[in-house]
Amino acid sequence: MLIFFSSLKSLYKLITIGLFLSLVGCQEKKVIQEAYAPKPIKANGVLEYLHKMLEEPELKGASLGLYVTTLGKDSSLVAYMPEVSLATASTLKALTTATAINILGKDYRFETEIAYSGQIDDKGTLNGNLYLIGGGDPTLGSDNMPSLMDFLANRVIEKGIKNVEGSLIGDASIFDTRLAANTWIWEDVGNYYGAGPSGLTIHLNQYSIYFKTGIKEGDPTEIVKIVPDVKNLTIKNEVTTGKKRSGDNAYIYGGPFNNKKIVRGTLPPGHASFMIKGALPEPSNFCTSYFFNTLQKKGVTFSKPIQLQFQQEKKSNSLTTIYTQKSNPLSQIIKETNFKSINLYADAMLKLLGNKKGKEGSFKEGVNVIKDFWGKEGIDMENIIIEDGSGLSRYNAVSAHTMTEIIRHTVLKDSSKAFINSLPIVGKSGTLKNISKNGISNGRIKAKSGYIKNVRAYTGTITTFSEKELVFTLLINNHTKSYREMTTNIEDIFDLLVRL
């Protein structure tokens, strides 16, 4: 009863303050807010909590890196193992997107082009080839692939092309053919979050499998349908029915350019159409074929089958452009990348950096561009390991200090605030919506989160109760706590940081 009474008193107090604040002016509001602000703490308060936390049994083998600095200059406020390189998980997307916005600019747009070689006669016959030239756009057809392909096909028909005495050539040469980074684990590669970037990405390079599950645990499952239809794809179904409310524990196994897949694991009982998503094995081929079929359905004929082009060639002046499909501005794609933590988008940006500023559109060249760019900005990039742009690889390793400096430099340069607006807000939005909903850090931290097994990570900005603007990175590796248990610790740390 005492606890209940105390809670009611606190609630009444908060409601009373809120009503009063709505009735007074700005100056009075500030005075009242300061009076009820949490008690400020020094760096030692944060460090004491970390030392105590790391004594817990599930964290005794863990590694933790924390670095907090002011926005204006690199002046350490809190530091715990700040120079030790640790796994980043998806906080690496913040590094990738920060580099992309610095190098390419917030207004950059991916372009997908329809063009042709040869001449069109007065009967509508193209004596040459039709081209679908990929620009590596990871968003192409992500919202409605059939509608987009229909729209693009209509642009060809408007040009008067009825017959093609040649092929439809899908040019995916802007990126190399490596869809998965070398160090992605086998359990990830065949699933939707392991869909890699291709020169002609389409529909997020994903397909969906729908299962009918059994009534009780151990019952077999049945594949009902696959959407969209992927030619030559065969799936061996080893999925069984799991316990009630057990969720999606099914994984698709099979690498890129391999049309034979195995799906294993469990799905919950009693579903007529339970969906899981996989990574398209040959996205550029699928994209070109889908466009080819759409054109044929509209009456355009071809004398030859489709061809794919993966080697970059000097663009021929003899090609005539029919239409150029442009993506949303990079700032909008970056916001979606960081809010929803979309691996494909981040990895496509990495390859694009390699194509635009390096030797080729590959993971390796994209990494070289990142290291070179930030090295010239005065940030030590020698002892970091980057394997991809998304953070899916467990081999990625960056120090809390280095990550924080990259974020700080980007926020200071970004006059339009495109980057800072791409970061989710604690307790409010994106991947941080359910963190600290009832904590004092709610609304005061903007950050990219990261999670892979046994890793939690965050990097971004803090507005403290004393109105300091701070930048931070928190990396925790090799803990054995459950997600929920670790979240409690994260919330405690956040609530301390806003009191600095």
Mean pLDDT of the chain: 92
Using CA atoms, how far residue 245 sits from 10, 78, 216, in Å, is: 36, 42, 12
pLDDT, position 318: 87
pLDDT, position 10: 42
pLDDT, position 314: 59
Sign of CA dihedral 240, 261, 390, 433: negative
pLDDT, position 4: 34
CATH 3.50.80.20 fits 111-176+283-328, yes or no: yes
Res 14 pLDDT > 60? no
Non-local (6+) Cβ contacts of 452 within 8 A are 87, 89, 90, 391, 392, 394
Instruction: Return the percentage of the chain with pLDDT > 70, whole number.
Output: 92
Quick one: pLDDT band at residue 25, thresholds 50, 70, 90?
low
More confident residue, 12 or 496: 496
pLDDT, position 317: 64
Mean pLDDT of 58-87: 95
SS (H, E, C) the chain: CHHHHHHHHHHHHHHHHHHHHCCCCHHHHHHHHHHCCCCCCCHHHHHHHHHHHCCCHHHCCCEEEEEEEECCCCCEEEEECCCCEECCHHHHHHHHHHHHHHHCCCCCCCEEEEEECCEECCCCEEECCEEEECCCCCCCCCCCHHHHHHHHHHHHHHCCCCEECCCEEEECCCCCCCCCCCCCCHHHHCEHHHCCCCCCCCHHHEEEEEEECCCCCCCECEEEEEECCCCCCEEEEEEEECCCCCCCEEEEECCCCCCEEEEEEEECCCCCCEEEEEECCCHHHHHHHHHHHHHHHCCCEECCCCEEECCCCCCCCCCEEEEEEECCCHHHHHHHHHHHCCHHHHHHHHHHHHHHHCCCCCHHHHHHHHHHHHHHCCCCCCCCECCCCCCCCCCCEEEHHHHHHHHHHHHHHCCCCCCHHHCCECCCCHHHCCCCCCCCCCCCEEEEEEEECCEEEEEEEEECCCCCEEEEEEEEECCCCCHHHHHHHHHHHHHHHCCC
More confident residue, 466 or 314: 466
Sorted by where each begins, the domain ranges of the chain are 37-106+333-497, 111-176+283-328, 186-279
How remote is the C-alpha of 211 from its chain's centroid? Answer: 27
Res 374 pLDDT > 70? yes
Mean pLDDT of 379-400: 95
Hey, what are 306's tokens? 């489709």
pLDDT, position 382: 86
37-106+333-497 homologous superfamily: DD-peptidase/beta-lactamase superfamily (3.40.710.10)
Instruction: Return the percentage of the chain with pLDDT > 90, whole number.
Output: 89
Res 21 pLDDT > 70? no
Mean pLDDT of 63-90: 96
Mean pLDDT of 278-294: 97
pLDDT, position 3: 37
Q: Please write the tens of the pLDDT for every residue from 99-127.
A: 999 999 999 999 999 999 999 999 999 99
Q: Please write the tens of the pLDDT for every residue from 408-455.
A: 999 999 878 999 999 999 999 999 999 999 999 999 999 999 999 999
pLDDT, position 315: 57
Hey, what are 147's tokens? 């509608």
Q: Please write the tens of the pLDDT for every residue from 159-178.
A: 999 999 999 999 999 999 99
